[in-house]
Structure 1
Amino acid sequence: MTQKTSKTRTHYGKRSVSAIHPRRIRLLQAGFFLAAAILIVRLGYLQVLKHGVYEALASGQRELYKDLYPQRGSLIVQDANGTEVAIATNQYLNLVWAEPRKVDDPVRTAQVLSDILGLSHEVVESINEEGKTEQSPSEYDRVLAQLQKADDPYEPIKRRVSEEVGNEIHLANLSGIHLLREQFRYYPEEETTAHITGFVSEDADGTSSGKYGLEGYFNETLAGQPGFLFSELDAKGNWISIGARNLQSAQDGADLVLTLDRTIQHVACTKLQENVDRFDADSGSLIILDAKTGAIWAMCGVPTYNPNAYSEVESVATYNNQTIFSAYEPGSVFKPLIMAAGLDSGVVTPNMTYNDTGEEKIDRFTIRNSDLKANGIQTMTNVLERSLNTGMIFVMRKMGGDVFARYVHDFGFGEAIGIPLNSEVQGEISAVDKGQEIYSATSSYGQGLTVTPLQMARAFTALANGGAMMQPYIVKEIRYPDGTVEATEPEQLRQVISSKTAQLVTAMLVSVVENGHAGPAKVDGYYIAGKTGTAQVANDSGTGYKSDETIATFVGYGPARDPRFVMLTRIDHPRSSQWATGTAAPLFGEIADFLLHYKQIPPER
């Protein structure tokens, strides 16, 4: 069979253009341009839209870590000149770890590490549960033993190593010794702000979260949101260059700017510690508020702890902020509030008198004055100056139990303040609602009900601020990473008493400081309004009171004509002097003197 041959001839060298059909040329051109367009789009997608993915992958694990793990927000306060200072921030330190199977000379390596890290060569002795002495290897011996584990791929040597020391280890070029940067929470003010900051610790699942204070309350806000990386891999586990991948960058946490004044916090809390020590007391607490706004200038308690070493406390109770956690029977510092209620309801005046017989009998109970005296005819101002329990019962009876209870609630007792700090309690005031005279009587002079120091300070803002009670707040701003700022505005909760009543009570409390038990709270050149309180402490059984234990409190504000601050000082179980006149009052006076000069408030007399 004869096969027809093509008429097309084979040409060597240059091919004739005329042999290619024009349509094919157009198809080839279209295909070329389409391929080029796809390549350009792909390159643009990779270089622009997916730039972050490849930048992270190319820059190695350290940069990738930054993209996937958020920065925890800082807690910020202001100093005297308005400079912002972080009291909780992040610090990058090094973990020194060994890969013993790659260590050439364990003895030499251990010696070099010892010189750089300052490892001790002394054997550690300790007493076990049986009372016997036990010896543990020195730091040097422990590290040497780690390095001699020939087949071991990982041994942690030391954590929290500074950059400077880490650089020395890097320059030593020790085989099998590596550095890994780790992020830690750092608290520069240490014990001074511990009850406000709280701390960050590791959870059971290996993640970290805030505990107590602002770290606990605002954990999600401070922590931010972690990112993620998705990438297709080949059979060998390598990422495929043209495969699908996506990087969702982490969202850093927000910064919290606080109302605290760093200088006031330092001075006030240092003096609190000094006075707790001076009076051989169990504990103490302190709160300072802006009288007009409710902003917290200082807040602290003793004993305290170092949040950088939070695990070293003897008791977890040390973590609690006493100004919001430790509810107690306040004693006579409660009296100005009940006197204000009596004045505001119109049943008494500052100069109204009653006959103090030294005691009041209610049912089977006999209530006496703290001085155990019958003082005769006394004015309502005298009642506060001499802190007469019988006088407060007189005021309560004039009002009646229902009106009395209403004012106690209006002053904010029995309800949580809502301060954004973990572990706040609301106190217990059920006694005032029982409708029985004995309960109202004891409550009128601050026994038989419990309040927190912050609740007491908040109630006194009504006396200092023309009758308007202000909501305490500690977070001034929340600054989000996108530039959004959420500011806190001062909040007036309610007008508890009239402005006239507030002025009358203030004048009476000035007389208490000038002429009564609160003399040690005086500040030269200024009028201070305030009241002492020496409260009995209930027995653990719930009935009766301890005979040898008191809680001393002073609450006051100044300057009296235009109050700028409200302050509460509390000393628990002072052994060298059980009365507030000799403990909490002089502590108040010391800090008030500093505050008035620090705020450059002109003298008023």
Structure 2
Amino acid sequence: MNTHQTPTHNRGQYSSRPVARYARRYLLLRGLLILGFAVVALRLVQIQVVRHATLARESLAQVRQTVPTPALRAGIYDRYGQVLAISEPTDMVIADDFQISSPATEAAALSGLVHIPTTKLTRLLSEHNGYVILNSALDLTDGKAVAAAYFPGIVVESSSTRHYPNATLAQSLIGGTNAAGVGDTGLEYEYQNQLAGQPGEVRQFVSQSGVPLPSSPTVVLKHPVPGVGLELTIDNQLQFVTERYLGAQIAATQGVAGAAVVMDVKTGEILADASLVNTKQNPGVLGPIPSWGTSIGVPGIEQTINNLPFTAAYEPGSVFKIVTFSAALNDGLITPNTPFTIPGQILVGGRIFHDAEPHGTETLTATQVIAQSSNIGTYEIGARVGEAGILAQVERMGFGHTTAVNYPGETAGLLVSAATWYPSDAGSLPIGQVDAVPPIQVLDAFNTLANGGTFVEPRLVRGYVQPSGHVVAAPASPTRSVITPAVSSTLTKMLEQVVLAGTGTNAIIPGYLVAGKTGTSQIPVPGQAAYLPGEFYATFVGFAPANKPVLSMIVVIERPLTTIYGGSASAPVFKEVMSYALRHYGIPSSGVVVHPLAGSASLGSDVTW
């Protein structure tokens, strides 16, 4: 019987080779593991030791942030301390709805405190965006109750709400703030940095969505500094009266818009500034005038967003004639009794000029020329002054320059110059065409006459209200001499005749002498060398008492329909507001019985065309 035997050398060959391979693999694997652990260890050392401080700061920064805290916005007051705009401390309630497990249950408990119906609140708490403002103006009592209840995911932060206690009063002047509480129009915009104060800083723990973590500590790093308030030159009561009379007349004449300003002659302080639009009228090719959307109490009449006395330029028409007359008087070229021969029409630079009403050749004195608002007579006076003289006087009287008020959006106007002069401008400029200026500049010029020939810059801010309540007076308005007191007195007496026997008889105030001028001016077609047919600005500007001026005022109504003349559309507003103001400030009567003189000019005599 044969027995099989495996050779010895074969057994060694088959058994040793696999062991060697496995050993090498084992050693390699063990080396890799050791190396891996070493890398991890080194990384841990780097993280836990070398970069510990840096990574700790970065980790903390993801949940702990330095957050600015706004200061309480300062108030705006009238000249007697009556509140026009004020910020009240409130609380803002914010939800991080990722932290809310049961929106319906939480909404039921929270609803009464944040004054939101449960159904709506449940929906807000279920949005899953991490940052939901539930109430941005919750009163402090309810805010304190919400914070004390420790609702999951609900945070209460300090906030404030801007209030205007007089509703729409002076809104076109004061302006407003946006959703973030930042001034975006009017004086709120102009004085934003001053009113807003300086923000503080706090350190908070926040979620990924930026909401402060409930019950987490808050560290105050810097306390906010309250803003500095404004004491305006505006008189609340006079502002109300001005707006009501202007608004009623805009509605009655079916005008598109209107502006009125009352000024203290000596100080330049603006006591009332009204800027209104009639939303019931079609603005036509000139486009709509933006408004605040709330009636002032007269149907359809609203406050404009832009303050028209400062921001809207127009061709002023006959009220601009005081430039021509003051230049001629100042240079000794005319006296009030200088006679002029007035033809029915004249040709100047290829353009025909005529008075508002047809007439044959007549003779008028300089006083009669301005009282009856003769365009041809004014041209003849302007011809004596000359191009250079007229242009210089326009400049001296403040036209073409923004005022010291520097109101947001204020226009300097658009003036003709020697470089852009056309031959026909010799007829146009003296009667208030060609140049486009804002109403405030027209009032400034008349105020110069009332102030004895001294120009005084207008101003709206009377003082600055410190957080302590102390009021720091604003600097007085700059002044400069424009014409001599003698010329001012002479021209004032001539302007009295405009009211007594000219186109401004509707501005007569019993017991007071009034000096003023009417204007009925055409409106240019945008982009064309033409005027809109049948469209006019009606203006009256003047001051009282004329023998000792205290107050000056301008009224402009844009595109009135029922009556188009400055003497019939705007002069009645002047009369009513100025009558109130004279009584309101206790200004003594002139001691005369005033009534229209016989032979008064037609109200339509002041149209410039």
Pairwise TM-score range, normalised by the shorter structure: 0.7 to 0.9
- Residue 298 of structure 1 deviates from its aligned partner by 0.9
Q: Work out the CA distance in 2 between the residues paired with 1:196 and 1:440.
A: 37
What amino acid is the match of 1:184? T
RMSD of equivalent CA atoms: 3.4
SS at match of 1:552: strand
Please say if 1:85 is aligned against 2:73: no
Deviations 1:375-399 (A, max 9, x none): 6011111111211100110111111
1:401 aligns with 2:387: yes
Report SS of the residue matched to 1:192.
coil
Aligned residue for 1:190, secondary structure, equals: coil
Change (3 A) 1:483 1:593: closer
Paired residues of 2:113 and 2:146 also in contact (CA < 8 A)? no
* C-alpha distance in structure 1 between counterparts of 2:439 and 2:355, whole Å: 24
Deviation at 1:528, TM superposition (A): 0.7
CA deviations over 1:87-132 (Å, ceiling 9, x no partner): 122123344555655475727945983898475xxxxxxxxxxxxx
Tell whether 2:434 aligns with 1:448: yes
Change (3 A) 1:105 1:497: closer
1:292 aligned partner: 266
The AA in structure 2 aligned to 1:568 is I
Q: Which residue of 1 aligns with 2:515?
A: 529
From 134, 137, 153, the counterpart of 1:157 = 134
Partners of 1:341 and 1:518 in 2: CA distance: 22
What per-residue deviation string (whole Å, max 9, x for no partner) do you get for residues 306-330 of structure 1?
Answer: 5999xxxx9x994211111101100
2:236 counterpart of 1:262: yes
Contact 2:324 2:385 in 1 (8 A): no
Between the two proteins, what is the percent identity of the paired residues?
26
Paired position in structure 2 for 1:361? 347
Q: Deviation string for 1:341-393 (max 9, x for gaps)? A: 21111101111111111211113211111113336011111111211100110
Give 1:499's aligned residue.
Answer: 485
8 Å CA contact 2:348–2:426 kept in 1: the answer is: no
Task: Name the counterpart of 2:166.
Answer: 189
Q: Secondary structure at the match of 1:583?
A: helix
**2:73 maps to what in 1?**
72
1:465-476 to 2 correspondences below 5 Å = 465-476=451-462
Counterpart of 1:400 in 2: which secondary structure? helix
Give the aligned partner of residue 5 of structure 2: none
Does residue 339 of structure 2 align to residue 339 of structure 1?
Answer: no
Map 1:179-218 → 2, pairs under 5 A: 179-202=156-179, 208-218=181-191
Q: Which segment is superposed worse, 105-114 or 426-435? A: 105-114
218-227 or 429-438, which moves further after superposition? 429-438
Shift of 1:217: 1.7
The question of whether the paired residues in 2 share the 8 Å contact of 1:95 and 1:179 is answered with yes
After the TM superposition, which of the residue ranges 173-182 and 294-303 deviates more from structure 2? Answer: 173-182
Aligned residue pairs, count:
496
C-alpha separation between the residues in 2 aligned to 1:593 and 1:472? 22
Q: Provide closer, same or farther for how the CA distance between residues 483 and 145 of structure 1 changes in structure 2, counting only shifts above 3 A.
A: closer
Look up the equivalent residue of 2:586 and give its one-letter code: Q
Q: Aligned partners of 1:192 and 1:375: how far apart in 2?
A: 51
Alignment partners' CA distance in 2, 1:458 and 1:225: 36
Q: Which residue in 2 is equivalent to 1:220?
A: 193
- Contact preservation (8 Å) 2:143, 2:156: yes
Write the mapping of 1:501-520 to structure 2, written as runs, cut at 5 A.
Answer: 501-520=487-506
Aligned residue for 1:548? 534
What letter matches 1:531 in structure 2? K
Query: What is the aligned partner in structure 2 of residue 113 from structure 1?
Result: 111
CA gap of 1:317–1:424, structure 2 versus 1, over 3 A, is farther
Measure the CA separation in 2 of the matches of 1:461 and 1:88.
29
Shift of 1:172: 10
- Distance, in Å, in 1 between the alignment partners of 2:323 and 2:491 is 9
Alpha-carbon separation, structure 2, partners of 1:456 and 1:284? 15
Equivalent in the alignment of 1:392: 378
SS of 1:265's equivalent in the other structure is helix
1:598 match:
584
Deviation string 1:474-527 (CA, Å, 9 cap, x unpaired) is 111224448886533433532111111111111111111111111111111111
Question: What letter is aligned with 2:198?
Answer: Q
Deviation digits for residues 509-560 of structure 1 (CA, Å, limit 9, x no counterpart): 1111111111111111111111110110001123110112101111000011
> Separation in 2 of the partners of 1:363 and 1:338?
19
1:278 to 231, 247, 252: 252
Amino acid at match of 1:350: P
Alignment TM-score, normalising by the size of structure 2: 0.74
Residues 1:160 and 1:490: Cα distance change in structure 2 (over 3 Å): same
SS of equivalent residue, structure 1 residue 505: helix
Query: Distance in 2 between the 1:440 and 1:432 partners?
Result: 11
CA distance in 1, matches of 2:158, 2:69: 15
SS of 2:534's equivalent? strand
In the alignment, the residues of structure 1 paired with residue 569 and residue 112 of structure 2 have an alpha-carbon distance, to the nearest angstrom, of: 51
Structure 1 residue aligned with 2:305, among 315, 319, 342? 319
Tell me if the contact between 2:107 and 2:121 (Cα under 8 Å) persists in the aligned partners. Answer: no
Residues 190 and 308 in structure 1, CA contact (< 8 A), matched pair in contact too: no
Q: Structure 2: where are the runs of 5+ without partners?
A: 1-63, 206-218, 278-289, 593-609
Contact 1:103–1:176 (Cα < 8 Å) also in 2: no
Mapped partners of 1:514, 1:561: distance in 2: 14
CA contact 2:113–2:142 (8 Å) conserved in 1: no
The whole-number CA distance in structure 2 between the counterparts of 1:558 and 1:178 is 60
Does 2:369 correspond to 1:383?
yes
CA distance in 1 between counterparts of 2:294 and 2:119 reads 27
Residue 512 of structure 2 contacts residue 589 of structure 2 at CA under 8 Å; is this kept in 1? Answer: yes
Report if aligned partners of 2:114, 2:135 keep a CA contact under 8 Å in 1.
Answer: no
CA separation of 1:110/1:521 partners in 2, compared to 1, >3 Å: closer, same or farther?
farther
Task: Give how far 1:473 is off.
Answer: 0.9
Q: 1:600 to 1:178 in 2, by over 3 A?
A: same
